[in-house]
Structure 1
Amino acid sequence: MKVDRVLLIAGGRSGEHEVSLSSAAGVLEALPYDADVAVIAKDGSWLLGPDALDAIDAGEAASGGHPFPPPVAWGDYDVAFPLLHGRWGEDGTIQGFFEMLGLPYVGAGVTASAVCMDKDLSKRVLQQAGLPVVPWEVVRKGEPAFVGLEPPFFVKPANAGSSVGIARVERYAELQKALEEAFRYDEKVVVEQAVSEARELEVALLGNVRAEASVVGEIRYDAEFYDYETKYTAGAAELVIPAALDPGTQETVQEMAVRAYRLLGVRGMARVDFFMSGEGELYLNELNTIPGFTPFSMYPRLWQASGLTYPELLSRLVELALE
């Protein structure tokens, strides 16, 4: 099908607003189709046209000029390309709106987006299917916090990304403060056992019913964990592509990622993250259905190392949306 125009949607109300605008800047520059941009400001209102482009240049939009739904001629677009990381963008919310419009869109559908976004629900599905996940417990806001795991462990909002609201807890005395921080972002919190001497591995998937896996990459850093500052500070982390793995381990990571992708019904794309312990045990951490998309982000870099350029990757994603 011929593609005349694509609508990029970026920004959003989540704690990943700035990351989303950075992703949109990269996509807009390399997308091999005519495109317009709509930006959702931090207050939930929308910016269109030159105002949206100005917001991308500024890297932030505190407020906008249009309520939802904005005055967009949705029928003028062949595909919507959401680059909304985190809540209200990666959780099925905007995908449901596209479904109501009958507008093809890049990425996972409503159910897959919602389940992958929820760290608790996705772990339950993966564990039930026999895929290895790190032991975890759930604490809900307003309920007593009984955690049976032994420190160290991580406290995470169940529905957030980019390491927003996450804390590493070394002793029980630190738990309450970590929970208070996580509850700023969600009413459900995941407490997850830390993996000893963990290596962090990532693989990119592309496709609908049949997904292809990229080479496996590794993230290395000196921080206590891969927190927001480490992720988005230049030079704070090293992306090793491909990861130094034996062929059998790389193949296992790729096979597990594809299995999880199919199990959860993901379409279009995902970055699948793993932990590998010092003993070589693999744990599937999470699937990110709208990964970071600057030219220097792990997802496009993994595909570049696998033989697919950034513009070719974007073109393929639009094709998958139409498919």
Structure 2
Amino acid sequence: MSERKVRVALLFGGRSGEHAISAATAAGVLRAIDREKYDVTPVGVTRDGRWVVASDDPTVWELRADRLPEVTAPAGSEIVLSTSGEGPQLQVLEAGAVPEVLSQVDVVFPVLHGPFGEDGTVQGLLELADVRYVGSGVLASAVGMDKHYMKLVFAAHGLPVGPYVVVTPRDWVTRRDDVLTRVKELRLPLFVKPARAGSSLGVTRVDDLADLEDAVEAARVHDPKVIVEEGVDGREVECAVLGSRGDAAPRASVVGEIVVQDTGEFYDFEAKYIEADTARLDIPADLPDAVSEQVRALAVAAFEAVGAEGIARVDVFVTPEGRIVVNEINTMPGFTPISMYPKLWEASGISYPDLIDELVQLALDRPTGLR
């Protein structure tokens, strides 16, 4: 009798502005995961937070220039995660019908990006349900999502971070002049960002302080809390980090560099996901070996500083003088065909299917609860 397949619930979509990116990540995972080893149940999360049965066809969820994928809910039908004597299971709720078991669940692979998914909220739900899941736990996910607290944690661990100013909702309403005075102490250019968003949504480069208030308002569309960062004169390089079994140290990939073709721009949403020709990914980055090793060491240090698990991508700047500044950690980086994380591991000797397999196995090996 053959061994039962591991049952994986792939959770994607979600309530954040990165809904489409999450769906595109799911497309990559659906296409690459080993179906001989894993029984996959795609679960889509609509923009209003409902869990629904989703298509298993990767082409439905791919990004296209003329269409962004969207999870929608059939009328009167949604999914709940429940526990029973047989363990965690997904149940389909139909109006006026007895709940039907869709699938037992061994592990959840939450490829949700942004708030209400990557920020510890879903991780907390899965912990309460005693379900194993891929990626970081509640605290690391929350810290990794909030650029303000991320930088505080990095600095407390002695990691180099650039100058910044946090703009809270109350300060912007009641002490705007004080906020603008503090921001003016930073050197141009400035990068104004939602504090808890990703994929460069709502990010504005400011080269003239006259444009600052509009940039803050643009960021506040995505998050009432905003962070203003002083631009770093340097090359943006990235390193992928992968957890290890047992007590072994996290693993760091080779280092890659994002080269934006128009040097007056930055790596925005369109460059990342739609207009692939506007940026080039150099893997490995053309850096001295000693600098690359320092980046890799800092990436692992950032991973451990926030208590990350399983998967993360760490972005840093390398200045012309060779100084390295840690920009941010992403605890659920994208898996789209043009995403950096799988490309870095492919260049490091781990194929995309093997990478997915390793992430699921790491999740299965890790208990829920305090650890």
Q: Given the two structures, how large is their TM-score scaled by the length of structure 1?
A: 0.94
Structure 1's 31 and 52: CA in aligned 2 closer, same or farther, altered over 3 A? closer
Whether 1:200 aligns to 2:236 is yes
Structure 2 SS opposite 1:5: strand
- Contact 1:40/1:47 (8 A) holds in 2: yes
Q: 2:330 maps to which residue?
A: 288
Unaligned runs of 5+ in 1: none
Q: How does 1:56-75 map to 2 (within 5 A)?
A: 56=61, 59-61=68-70, 63-65=72-74, 66=77, 69=80, 71=91, 73=101
Aligned residues: 322
Superposed displacement of residue 3, structure 1: 4.7
Q: How does 1:105-184 map to 2 (within 5 A)?
A: 105-143=133-171, 144-145=175-176, 146=179, 147=183, 148-184=185-221
Query: Which residue identity is paired with 1:64?
Result: A
- Contact 2:53/2:78 (8 A) holds in 1: no
Q: 2:88 maps to which residue?
A: none
Q: Give the stretch that moved more between structures: 140-149 or 240-249.
A: 140-149
Alpha-carbon distance in 2 for matches of 1:101, 1:74: 17
Q: 2:295 maps to which residue?
A: 253
Residue identity over aligned pairs, in percent, reads: 48
Q: 1:40 maps to which residue?
A: 45
- Structure index of larger Rg: 2
Superposed displacement of residue 262, structure 1: 1.1
Query: Which residue identity is paired with 1:14?
Result: S
RMSD of aligned alpha carbons: 2.1
Unaligned runs of 5+ in 2: 82-90, 93-100, 366-371
Alpha-carbon distance in 1 for matches of 2:303, 2:165: 23
Alpha-carbon distance in 2 for matches of 1:291, 1:53: 18
Structure 1's 87 and 134: CA in aligned 2 closer, same or farther, altered over 3 A? same
Superposed displacement of residue 62, structure 1: 5.7
> Which of 256, 271, 279 pairs up with 1:230?
271
Q: Given the two structures, how large is their TM-score scaled by the length of structure 2?
A: 0.82
Structure 1 SS opposite 2:52: strand
Structure 1's 307 and 280: CA in aligned 2 closer, same or farther, altered over 3 A? same
Superposed displacement of residue 42, structure 1: 2.0
Alpha-carbon distance in 2 for matches of 1:229, 1:30: 24
Q: 1:215 maps to which residue?
A: 254
Structure 2 SS opposite 1:91: coil
Alpha-carbon distance in 1 for matches of 2:257, 2:129: 39
Superposed displacement of residue 177, structure 1: 0.1
Runs of 4+ in 1 over 6 A off after TM superposition: 51-54
